[in-house]
Amino acid sequence: MHFPRAAVFAALPFLASALTTGDRHRGYACPAPVLNVTAVFGPGLSAGASIHFASDPDFNTTTVQRYTPWHQPTFQVTIKPSTPEDVQFIVKTANKYHVPFYATGGGHGGDAKSNTVHNAIDIDLSNFQENVFDAAANTLTVGPGISFGDFQKNLYDVGKFVPTGNAFCVNMIGATLGAAHGPFQGLGGLGIDRLRSVRLVTAAGDIVTASDTENSDLFWAVRGAGANFGIVLSATYEALDAPNGGNLVQADFQYDGAANYSLWQLLQSWDTTYPKEMGLTITAALVRATGKVSLTSSMTYFGPQEDAQPWIDQFLSLNPVRWQNQTMPYYNASAAQAFGTGANSCRKGMWNSHPSAAAKVTNPETYMSVLNQYAKIMTDRPWLTGIMFLQRFNTTVTQSVPKNKQGVYPGRDFGTLIMINNFFDGADHDADVYQATAPLRSQLAATSGFGKLQTYINYAYGDEGPAVWFGEENLPRLAKLKKQWDPKNKFGAAYPIPF
């Protein structure tokens, strides 16, 4: 059951009776809890806050569930704060009792290091639903309970946009802390480029604001390494006018395996001409019924049909087995992509690992070879379902941002993001999947134009290291700030800053 503030003074059993070694929902596994969490935390929470146990019948529907159980943290209990003061109190109380805590926004994290967090307090931020457009300031301020889709719809209604990532269900603030690559970055830069301030709870439990004029060093660190520095309660973004009345062209093309070279050649031909209005996602997978690969390209063009048509024609020249073309509000494009299957990217509960790489040039031979190898890996493993997932963006705006406005994120020249997206049946196959697919990442990195592995931190597997996540040149400054703001290393388990 969950316990609102009003119920905490009743006689309550110790947590040991509510959680057992059999409780495995979203990583709950704590055979020897040390606190009566309800008694310790309950009296200091607001009336709107609540405490949730994994044994509650409605637990899976009343708390945010993690996107994947792969390498997940383990929790003693979930607490859903309702006010900023609740978050402060949880952090300070957890510190007092030496209990780790872990904030959950949309639950879309998936990395190799989060399982270093054990028996933590899960701070579920889904109650923070602020989503307010200030017309006078031309800004939108949102809480950590707001997804890309919520964010986009509010802006669309007032004729505005801010660059976001691709999947409508992903948490806006969580993605921004990594950078927020996405299909609209050619027109507006990365999500962090439109960020103007954040309000966060620090490791000490203080509420502070970070912006260009207040705690500016912290604001620099938040833009690319934010998960290492606090729990963001709200973020304010400066909006841009939406092109074409906020409507875009969305087109999908499906190809059989015969396109597993010509499609990559087309992509290569755009290495120096890729339009700023276009975003592109390509997925390639093994069709088990036929034993052959199939490829799907989904493009968005933030402009009128006549401007998009020359690019559509180039896809059509590759003879897709089917295709479609439609115009829609930009906030609908995520779900509509890939012939209306875009919502599949929001499914939760699947065991998922994902070695990834970034590129600034396209190598058709490598992409063709990697896809063929990946198909063979899946053929040999009936329990493995995989997708070679590629996203392509224009980088003109991202690279033109002045150095003093860029924040930490080192990947402004990442024109292409490539992920080997593995879905399989559990931990018993982790080592095999990694050993089979990590070499594919290495091959992609070798011909990426960087000469070494680079990847987007929000897509990172977790073994790449801080120089890849944050940029080698940024590490000394980050280490200094980490010592200042989080000296006991309360945050950043997934992608830690060495200090």
Amino acid in position 304: P
- What distances in angstroms separate CA 442 from CA 276, 295, 420, 471, one per listed residue? 29, 22, 11, 19
Q: How many CB atoms neighbour CB 175 within 10 A?
A: 24
Which CATH number describes the domain made up of 131-242+472-485?
A: 3.30.465.10
Kindly state the percentage of the chain with pLDDT values over 90: 90
- Regarding pTM above 0.85, the answer is yes
> Does pLDDT of 97 surpass 70?
yes
Report the C-alpha gap between 196 and 210 in whole angstroms. 9
Report the C-alpha gap between 297 and 276 in whole angstroms. 17
**Residue 350: pLDDT band by 50, 70, 90 thresholds?**
very high
Coil/strand/helix, residue 36? coil
> Does pLDDT of 24 surpass 70?
no
**Residue 428: pLDDT band by 50, 70, 90 thresholds?**
very high
At 34 the pLDDT is: 58
Segment 476-483 mean pLDDT: 98
* CATH fold for the domain made of 246-470: Vanillyl-alcohol Oxidase; Chain A, domain 3 (3.40.462)
The listed CATH number (3.40.190.10, 1.20.1250.20, 3.40.50.300, 3.30.43.10) that belongs to domain 2-124: 3.30.43.10
Report the C-alpha gap between 377 and 385 in whole angstroms. 10
The two domains 131-242+472-485 and 246-470 share their CATH topology (first three levels equal): no
pLDDT tens per residue across span 290-300: 999 999 999 99
> Does pLDDT of 15 surpass 80?
no
Buried b (16+ CB within 10 A) or exposed e, 148-168: bbbbbbbbbeeebbbbbbbbb
> Does pLDDT of 14 surpass 70?
no
Q: Are strands 120-124 and 75-80 parallel, antiparallel or unpaired?
A: parallel
When the pLDDT of each residue in the chain is averaged and rounded to a whole number, the result is: 92
At 345 the pLDDT is: 85
Q: Are strands 101-104 and 120-124 parallel, antiparallel or unpaired?
A: parallel
Assigned token pair, 350: 């699947």
Report the C-alpha gap between 448 and 186 in whole angstroms. 20
Residue 29 vs residue 406, higher pLDDT: 406
Domain boundaries, the chain: 2-124, 131-242+472-485, 246-470
- The neighbouring-strand residues paired with 63 are none
Tokens 């490598």 belong to residue: 366
pLDDT tens per residue across span 314-340: 999 999 999 999 999 999 999 999 999
Report the C-alpha gap between 80 and 95 in whole angstroms. 18
- The neighbouring-strand residues paired with 3 are 51
At 109 the pLDDT is: 86
**Residue 430: pLDDT band by 50, 70, 90 thresholds?**
very high
At 76 the pLDDT is: 93
DSSP 22: T
At 129 the pLDDT is: 97
Long-range contacts (CB closer than 8 Å, 24 or more residues apart) made by 400-405: 401/189, 401/193, 405/193, 405/212
Q: What are phi and psi of 47, to 5 degrees?
A: -65, -25
Amino acid in position 355: P
Report the C-alpha gap between 438 and 478 in whole angstroms. 28
- The neighbouring-strand residues paired with 250 are 300, 326
> Does pLDDT of 377 surpass 50?
yes
Residue 373 vs residue 15, higher pLDDT: 373
> Does pLDDT of 8 surpass 90?
no
- How big is the CA angle at 108 (ends 437 and 106), to the nearest 5 degrees? 175
275: which residues sit within 8 A by CB, 6+ positions away? Answer: 186, 301, 311, 394
Segment 326-355 mean pLDDT: 93
Segment 9-23 mean pLDDT: 28
Report the C-alpha gap between 284 and 287 in whole angstroms. 9
- What distances in angstroms separate CA 348 from CA 68, 108, 109, 110, one per listed residue? 6, 8, 11, 11
DSSP 214: S
Burial of 130 per CB tally in 10 Å (0-12, 13-18, 19+): middle
Strands of 27-186, DSSP E: 50-52, 75-80, 101-104, 120-124, 131-134, 139-142, 160-161
> Does pLDDT of 369 surpass 50?
yes
> Does pLDDT of 136 surpass 90?
yes
Amino acid in position 106: G
Segment 120-144 mean pLDDT: 98
> Does pLDDT of 207 surpass 80?
yes
232: which residues sit within 8 A by CB, 6+ positions away? Answer: 144, 173, 177, 198, 199, 200, 222, 226
DSSP 81: -
Report the C-alpha gap between 336 and 488 in whole angstroms. 44
